A and B are shown apart, each in its own frame.
Chain A
Amino acid sequence: MTASTERPPPDLSGGGLGATRRVGDRVFAALTTGAGVLVLALIVAIGAFLLTKAIPAVQKDSTNFFTTKLWQPDNDPSVFGIAALVFGTLLSSIIALVVAGPIAIGIALYISDYAPRRLATPIGYLVDLLAAVPSVVYGLWGLLFLAPHSDKFQQFLSDHFGFIPLFDLGKNGVVGRSMMIASLVLAIMILPIVAAISREIFLQVPQANREAALALGATKLEMIRLAVLPYSKSGVVGALMLGLGRALGETIAVALVLSLSYSTSFHIIDANVGGNTIAANIASQYQAAEPLGQRALIASGLVLFVITFAVNALARYVVTRSGKRAAAV
């Protein structure tokens, strides 16, 4: 999970003292190349197979697949679309990122610059533990502990900040298994990945830069703003995007916590409004789906695949570039 400086291994492809390449070498080289090609083939196959099952389903859709908010693929005529699902996927992930991002960056800074030396690594591991907890356990906890215990908090938001549309409960609203609770669970889940990558990026900033800033009499905050952030900005952006990618695809926790619906509402604390994500919709609809329904779900999965692929590819690009720059300082 690190964007390390790449130190190329010594190239001694001749191998050994004898100049002729032996059969063993050729076989082994072919084997490893084959494995590499297999990975490429796998990702192409994933896209291709989802596509072959998705296209016929979308053709049978009696409405526009991209703009319809309903999901009734097994009805006659078949009606389904990903509009509400994409909306919910993006909304929940963005809220999760807005909550988790600053916290994760704070944790990363704590480990790189604030924690006592001996504690930094163990605390890093502790935060990583958050990533070790299985998503179904987060779902269970979110459903049976977090949601019931945050009724008061959500009611508070509605009472005092209800003028902000996000926290407007309306006349018939009810707090509970709302979009916000689902997003908070997502936030906890993406916290460790954003924190871990940001931490690596911060640690790559040479110590000398920090010392120079401190020598000028900078406070710790000024040191961070002078010596750390300028060299890690794009890396942190990449880390946030990787966190976003993780949130977009999270399935079980959302499916368990959120009251699923096909709405496109910004009233995130109203459980009567609820919401849905592409992944959670697959988990909840899959079991009862008939053949066309299953293929419709595959089509929605393909959309998720494309979105996360794009987000992750961009994030990796940004992280790698930033890693190289920070190390080159």
Chain B
Amino acid sequence: MKVMRTGQLAGLTLVGALALTACSGNNTPTTNPSASGTGTAGCATGSLSGQGSTFQANAELQWAKDYAAKCAGASVTYEGTGSGAGKTAFGNGTAEFGGTDSLPKPEEQAAADKRCGTGNKGIVTPIVAGAVVLTYHLDGVAKLTLSATTVAKIFEGTITKWDDPAIKADNAGATLPSTTIVTVHRNDKSGTTNIFSSWLDKNDPADWKLGAAETLTWPGGQSAKGSDGVTGAVAGAKGGITYTELSFAKAQNLPVADIKNAAGTTVTPNATSVSAALGTATVDTSKGDIRITPDYATKTSAAYPLAAPSYVLTCDKGNKSAALLKGYLTYALTDGTAVLDGLGYAPLPDAIATQAKTQVATLS
């Protein structure tokens, strides 16, 4: 049949054409001027794949790009699939490291230990700190201050207009439109939701009835998937407000609200205020790694209370491509901190950062 042959021929040509461009299609890494650190110290070759937390995804992507530019022959990929997925992927061996905002639950810890081999165990290392911010879409309002109580009422659905007296009270002298508030929350399981709800739960349990968890039973409001999804939804909805990591709000060019902390001070989320908040966190090293419990009701006046670390989950010993993993994580904790502010993250407080670097140096 002639027609069939032409069809097959066309198919072959197409396959051939794509095969001719025989390359991986990888983008050539270019050096990022803002990333300091030249030379090839701490470089290792090979490929490394990580996945998990979307909280740290933007930082990981930038580090991966910069590290590849610095170290020829090194390829690191990171996929923001969510903390739960990151821990699972590490546990079943489909990722060399997992990114997570929440500490491993017993069964996740067991899976990680098993993956690392007999005698070894899975450990978490804080890698970056970030702020969960309230970002909004309200034309003509570039500056906004919110207290925990107001935020609780907004997301509980008891405050429904932007010119509500409670919001006005938080923002003396500001002109607020009567636009209806469109709250947007995560519809997937999320460490960000956990941080956000823990903060409200600690600061105003009277108005916040939804508790603190990675998934909540929302009384209403719109929803979207992932940190990108909620910020995208707010960017598309006039009157919208959501909670997300600062880096995602920055990427969308959305304004970010200042928060009244437990000390009564109005604080802008940035590297300084986040580091200040984590400075008051409790650090637990009893499990042979570094586990941080943030104080969401911190009374430090310069602290932005919605601050949390994000971890990488690795093996203490028995890591696949251990040299590259060590090189990459060391880069992230040293030279890599230079890009953080621009992306909307904060470096870890010095004390924690030193502990983290020491721990990474022992990986094998």
Contact = CB atoms under 8 A, between A and B. Distances in A.
B180 A273 contact: no
Contacts of B49: none
A226 to B, nearest CB: 43
B221 interface: yes
Contacts of B233: 177, 259
B189 A74 contact: yes
A75 B215 contact: yes
B325 to A, nearest CB: 24
Interface string B230-254: 0001001101000000000000000
A288 B180 contact: no
A287 B82 contact: yes
Contacts of B188: 284-285, 287-288
Interface string A86-103: 000000000000000000
A183 interface: no
B85 interface: yes
Question: Could you say which of A70, A259, A262, A293 has the most chain B C-beta atoms within 10 Å of its C-beta?
Answer: A259
B225 interface: yes
Given A72-B215, A74-B84, A174-B180, A284 B225 contact: yes
Nearest to A292: B107
Interface of B: 81-85, 88, 108, 157, 160, 180, 182-183, 187-190, 213-215, 217-218, 220-225, 233, 236-237, 239
Contact of A288 (B157, B190, B220): B190
Nearest to A171: B160
Interface of B is mostly: loop
Given A72-B215, A74-B189, A288 B222 contact: no
A191 to B, nearest CB: 27
A47 interface: no
B239 A174 contact: yes
Contacts of A290: 84, 88, 108
A173 B182 CA distance: 9
Contact of A274 (B83, B88, B214, B223): B223
A290 B84 CA distance: 6
Nearest to B239: A174
Contacts of A284: 187-188, 225
Interface string A171-184: 11110110000000
Interface string A251-295: 000000001111100000001111000000000110111110100
Contacts of B225: 260, 284, 287
A241 to B, nearest CB: 31
B127 to A, nearest CB: 20
A159 B88 CA distance: 49
A287 B236 contact: no
B223 A259 contact: yes
Given A148-B236, A177-B233, A289-B84, 4 more contacts: A260-B225, A272-B183, A272-B221, A289-B85
Given A261-B223, A272-B220, A274-B223, A289 B239 contact: no
Nearest to A151: B238
A288 B223 contact: no
B85 A288 contact: yes
Contacts of B183: 272
Nearest to A70: B217
B221 to A, nearest CB: 6
Given A289-B84, A289-B189, A259 B213 contact: no
Interface in A285-321: 285, 287-291, 293
A271 B222 contact: yes
Nearest to B88: A290
Contact of A259 (B81, B82, B222): B222
A75 B213 contact: yes
A175 to B, nearest CB: 10
A272 B182 contact: yes
B108 to A, nearest CB: 8
Contacts of B180: 172-174
